[in-house]
Structure 1
Amino acid sequence: MLLSFQMPRPAYAEENAGGLERLVLVRDSNEMRHNDVSVKAPQPLTQVKGVTYVAARTFMNEIYGTIAYDSKSKKYTLTSGDNVLQLAANKSAYTLNGASKSMTGAPYVLKGTLMLPVRIAAQSFGLTMKTLPETQQIELTWSNAPIARFSVSDLNPYAQQTQVHYVNESYHPSGLAIVEERWENNNEVFDQPGSYVVTLWVKDVSGRWSEPYSVTVTVKPANQPPVASFTTDKSTYKMGEFITYTDYSTDDENRIASRVWTNAQRGFFEPGEQTVTLKVTDALGETDEVTKTITILDETLYTKEEFDLLYTEVGEKFEMNGSSVLQWPTMSYNINDREQTLIRANSPETIREEGIYYEDIVSGDVRFLLHNQNGRSKPVKIYVILTNNNAESATVRMGAKGMAGPNPIVSTVGRAVTGRFLESLLAPQYSYVQIPAGESRMIFQEYSDKPVKPGDVYSMFADVWMSTALDFKVVVVDAERDVISALPSLSILASDGQHVRGTFDNANRIMYVNQMVGDVKSRMVLADNVIDTRISGIDKTIGNPVLNAGNYGVLYTIQLNNVQPHTAIVLSPRGGHYAGAFTVNGQVVYTTNTSILRNTNELGMLYKTGDTAESVSITFTPANGSMLPINLLFMPMPTH
């Protein structure tokens, strides 16, 4: 609760010579004299250890300020004019207009009254302080004139084009009404470029004028529209010949905000004339466009498929009839599963209640896969808690990890989390957590710190190593709750019956392909649950065996030992949309860099071999939130 303490405004005494307000404080007396009007404070002016203190509420009232107390933070906020002083009782640290400072002495509370160091108050609120030793008095003075202030909507407008608005922010420190204002150069539109000093004076109800307040407005020459311009490397092309467009558009301020191309295809596959248009827009919305016509001959250089294979960059996509892929021969491979514990905590996938989403006791190398969507009406947080029930201390090494979200778009989260995990695997950053015997620790703190809003998806892959068997729990509670205090009342939730959770062994899968690749069109079937079989595990919450449908969380390494020159390695989603990532010969490739593969007719370029045969290594894990199975396609590229 914020408590505001305001006393009635003091009666305005007759103005002092020079228009100054004057407040006299008397040592060891609770009497103040404001412009020769006597005021009583609840506590006297007091000196403690060389610091003089004044009753804060009465003082703030006499300088026409306010004081408020926040019982939650236990801080006082003192405001006068533009200045805001924040402090706490018995603390020497304070802030003035947001800047941290430290004072000599400290404010304190005397019989319910906040006592404020006079010198700090004077410095904070712009008062002139004078000590009068012979009379044991302190004299504070300040101007009684109004203060002129204003803001400007645009300090760098364009001549003859920009409408400028001025907001009068003037005030009177004593709270008197401002009755008149006078401006210079406050033009709504400036006719000519240059520097203009805009000045404001204001007058209060007593007839006193403020000092001038000025702001310099620098007016730029009138904005010129951009000029759209582009060229092609020639004017006539064969069908399937690559076209280079060079943008030569200009703007007088070099602030082109957008470029919109129409029909600027990289190649055309029908003869005839093609019209290409470029429209450019500058930062102020001015536009220009230009159109050029090129001629496509009735002669073929490359077919559409050949063209796409040659000119689609790695990480981008192209279109092809997806059903034709199913007629291609499948590539055989040998599977060698390696020891690796996988925790897939993916059921219930939609968070509808607080609880324990999975638990088990594990040790050694462990990979966590968490993937959830918040179906509650309020934000939640997700925690992984390790408990050491052993007699000795345990060590946990945190290794490669990828985290993505919270975000409402599942494909965005799945693509990002997969790519980040693969990038982390290339150069893992290790950290260590020690868990004493009989104690618990939260790991993946950065994951747990983010609240997941209703409708958002949150996902993580993470590798850890545990020196001994540890009990872990995946726990979800509402974001405002403390997970440790809530944990004793939480129960293990049942699986949703659609998604998979469990503890799986041998979750690193290596595939060797020794036959020639790329001499003919062929494909490799992955994550189909038939040719590429599912790994098995147990849902330890109920003891039932489970199969990891789709092998989500399994780390695949595909070793292609004999890939022919000029071979394109392409991803074909077979189950629907796919948004993930692959590491190919040490480089992470997203599918795709800027989008997703939306259906079976969209293919993602992963790699192209050069002029000699190569060995190609591909590492991936099926992307969370994407559809399976997938195929790797091996497609010969034209060499002429």
Structure 2
Amino acid sequence: MGKKVSLVALVALFLFAMAVPVQAQGQLQDQLVLIQKTNQMYHNGKLFKASQPLTEKKGVTYVAARSIAERLYGNVVYDSKLKEYILTTGQQELRYKAGSTAYKINGASTKLDGAPFVQQGTLMIPLRSLLKPYGMKISSNAEQKKITLDWTVKPVAAFAVSPATIYAGETEVSYIDKASHPKGLLIADERWEGQASTFDSPGAYKVTRWVQDENGVWSDPFSVNVVVKQPNLPPVANFTTDKNSYKMGEMIHYTDHSTDDENKIKKTEWTNNAKGFFTPGPQTITLKVTDTHGAVGEFSKTIMIEDETLYSKQDFDMLFTEVGDKYQIDGASVLKLPTVSYELSVVGQQTLIRSNSPEHIDEEGIYYSDTASGNVRFLTHNQNNRANPVRIYIIATNENAEEATVTEERVGVGGPAPYVSQTGKAAVGNYLFGRTQPSLNKVTKIPAGESRVVLSKLSDVKLAQDRVVTMYSDVSTSAPIKFSVVVVDADKDVLAELPHLQQLPRDGKHVRGTFHDANRNIHVLDTIGNEPARMILADKVVDSRLSGYDVTTGDIMSNDGNNGAYYVLRLYNVQPHTLILLNPRGGHYGGAFLVNNKLVYTTTTTILSNANDVGVLYRTGDSAEQVTIAFTPASGSNLPFNLLFLPLPELKY
């Protein structure tokens, strides 16, 4: 009886061995045996199960793409844009489309003997589409109902070339090894063609590599096309002036003719390129240009200044200082100018929520909170004193019984930056520019009893220690909304933290509170420009300050400087050839203005340092004009300021 059992076992083992050959140790080729109409796959003698059985349709044998890709040491991904399935292994990339008999092998199109299809969520591909790309040999045994695939798994000889830009005779070239083996075998040898540490001449070079694995199998060639450029040439600095000799106070026009072989001049630096000179004698002007590689070109030219005056320094500055630039005056003399009187009027409902206290962020918490509705403006201005980076959030809470909305109309953010004047100027400029554009109309729906983050441009800013951020923004609400200005460490979920945060006290120095009637109109009907004059703005007397409340304490608050108030100044009769200037009276000032709906910074490149600086806002032309100036006082700057109206000197030809 025992002999019979042994004989049966031996026969079974023999039949199994016939159906599924076991790969011998050290065999170089892989073998995959597929059993027809089953999901059985014997890879090098080990059983794996495919997601779908081997299927035959119209004489074509199909295999589950993802299952066989795994046996080829690869994977399958789906490109939803192109609606293609991508089978990737080593250096091979095969692209299939369900229902299409066309497929691509490494970008080259070819035809299939049948169209791929999806069966129970699995892509089925023609088995023979794999033969050519992988050099497979196929055999079948109808009696044993098996298909056998044999192929050699090759190493991949990948590499990368560094740096990306290579110059002939200059650049040391590195070759970064990215070789691999699908089966994890070691790379034992390599050979190169076209490899060089430097390339002596410009042009296109093909560098090819082969690698050999520990079993002695060589890879297919892997090539990289290397583009070698001409050696970098330094830029050539050059400029001309419209003349070689000028009177004192005569405008000099400079034309930059600098060139670079790659047209990549990164920095342009002038020395002594004044628009006009006011002492006689030679003046040497120098232009220095630097390209993206750090190469420098320099050029100097000497012009002669004659002992004859065309314009005085004061007249020259008034006539030729560009809008958005500045020049110096005698600041004390401004106080002797007659003042332009005006009256303020309130336009529309506008609530201002100003959160500027505590200005320095020392702890997490709620920095201000109040309920407002209709048109709401926010002004936040803070510096982070914490070691951890923080974010500042505007949280809108709907305490009503029905859904409410918050609509963002415009947002101006400045920072993060190290200086308050930088962020205040940038935020005002961005906010005013937003007023020249269509409204954002970004709507946030807030279900009853829930909170949402609004004005995310502010909370998108990750504020590091000692950095400042400023925001001016306008929203409208469909119902009363509780707004909270909240600060938490940058990596925290603000809505999860909100119930645990405390309302913080003021710092005793800066302003926070809710202020109504925050839009101001000024109409000046009187003629301006017949004589020098000034208009006083953002002071305590002539331009009264907004009054409001810190609702968290019940304290009456004065909005010092009227930061966040939006002014529209209409000058109905400004005489021809009138210069309009901004003159700070409280110290430095860096801000922005809309002049006839055009954004003008004070100044474009810097700030006004003190009362001896004036920034040019506008010049009227040859006829009387109506001039409209809109602004909001800039946080981080000193107030008040004056607008100056000066008749221009006559042009000389």
Per the normalisation by structure 1, the TM-score is 0.80
1:472-516 Cα offsets, whole Å, 9 max, x none, are 332333333333333322222111111111111221222233443
**SS, match of residue 162 in structure 1:** coil
User: Which is further off, 290-299 or 312-321?
Assistant: 312-321
Report if the CA contact (8 A) 1:198-1:217 is conserved. yes
**SS, match of residue 290 in structure 1:** strand
Q: Structure 1: where are the runs of 5+ without partners?
A: 1-9, 67-77, 85-101, 108-115
Residues in 1 aligned to 2:248 and 2:221: alpha-carbon distance in whole angstroms: 72
Q: Which residue of 1 aligns with 2:424?
A: 414
Residues in 2 aligned to 1:488 and 1:169: alpha-carbon distance in whole angstroms: 52
| Amino acid in the other structure paired with 1:341 | T
1:358-393 Cα offsets, whole Å, 9 max, x none, are 222323322222222233333333333334444555
Residues in 2 aligned to 1:283 and 1:479: alpha-carbon distance in whole angstroms: 35
Q: Which residue of 2 aligns with 1:487?
A: 498
Say whether 1:13 aligns with 2:25: yes
Say whether 1:371 aligns with 2:381: yes
- Write the mapping of 1:342-421 to structure 2, written as runs, cut at 5 A: 342-391=352-401, 393-421=403-431
**SS, match of residue 486 in structure 1:** helix
**SS, match of residue 548 in structure 2:** strand
- Write the mapping of 1:178-189 to structure 2, written as runs, cut at 5 A: 178-189=187-198
**SS, match of residue 385 in structure 1:** strand
Among 207, 223, 230, the alignment partner of 1:214 is 223
Say whether 1:525 aligns with 2:536: yes
Residues in 1 aligned to 2:434 and 2:50: alpha-carbon distance in whole angstroms: 64
Q: Evaluate the alpha carbon distance shift between residue 213 and residue 463 of structure 1 in structure 2; reply closer, same or farther with a 3 A threshold.
A: closer
Say whether 1:478 aligns with 2:489: yes
Displacement of 1:33 after TM fit?
4.8
Q: Structure 2: where are the runs of 5+ without partners?
A: 1-21, 56-61, 76-86, 94-116
Q: Evaluate the alpha carbon distance shift between residue 468 and residue 266 of structure 1 in structure 2; reply closer, same or farther with a 3 A threshold.
A: same
1:387-430 Cα offsets, whole Å, 9 max, x none, are 44445554544323323334444333212221222222234413
- Write the mapping of 1:35-434 to structure 2, written as runs, cut at 5 A: 38-39=45-46, 47=52, 134=142, 135=144, 137=146, 139=148, 141-154=150-163, 157-338=166-347, 339-391=349-401, 393-429=403-439, 430-434=441-445
Report if the CA contact (8 A) 1:105-1:117 is conserved. no
Q: Which residue of 2 aligns with 1:597?
A: 608
Displacement of 1:555 after TM fit?
0.9
Displacement of 1:539 after TM fit?
0.8
Report if the CA contact (8 A) 2:39-2:54 is conserved. no
CA root-mean-square deviation: 3.9
**SS, match of residue 615 in structure 1:** strand
| Amino acid in the other structure paired with 1:480 | D
Report if the CA contact (8 A) 1:46-1:52 is conserved. no
Per the normalisation by structure 2, the TM-score is 0.79
Say whether 1:609 aligns with 2:638: no
Question: How many pairs does the alignment contain?
Answer: 587
| Amino acid in the other structure paired with 1:609 | T
Greater radius of gyration (CA): 2
Residues in 2 aligned to 1:322 and 1:572: alpha-carbon distance in whole angstroms: 8
Report if the CA contact (8 A) 1:64-1:175 is conserved. no
Report if the CA contact (8 A) 1:575-1:630 is conserved. yes
1:274-293 Cα offsets, whole Å, 9 max, x none, are 11222333444443332221
Residues in 2 aligned to 1:298 and 1:340: alpha-carbon distance in whole angstroms: 59
Say whether 1:459 aligns with 2:470: yes
Displacement of 1:596 after TM fit?
2.5
Displacement of 1:441 after TM fit?
4.2
Report if the CA contact (8 A) 2:40-2:53 is conserved. no
Among 562, 567, 571, the alignment partner of 1:551 is 562
Q: Evaluate the alpha carbon distance shift between residue 238 and residue 327 of structure 1 in structure 2; reply closer, same or farther with a 3 A threshold.
A: same
Residues in 2 aligned to 1:117 and 1:323: alpha-carbon distance in whole angstroms: 87
| Amino acid in the other structure paired with 2:185 | L
Report if the CA contact (8 A) 2:156-2:211 is conserved. yes
Residues in 2 aligned to 1:599 and 1:139: alpha-carbon distance in whole angstroms: 88
1:243-282 Cα offsets, whole Å, 9 max, x none, are 1112223334433333332222211111100112223334
Q: Which residue of 2 aligns with 1:625?
A: 636
| Amino acid in the other structure paired with 1:231 | T
Displacement of 1:146 after TM fit?
2.8
Residues in 2 aligned to 1:55 and 1:223: alpha-carbon distance in whole angstroms: 49
Residues in 1 aligned to 2:391 and 2:417: alpha-carbon distance in whole angstroms: 14
Identity across matched positions, percent:
49
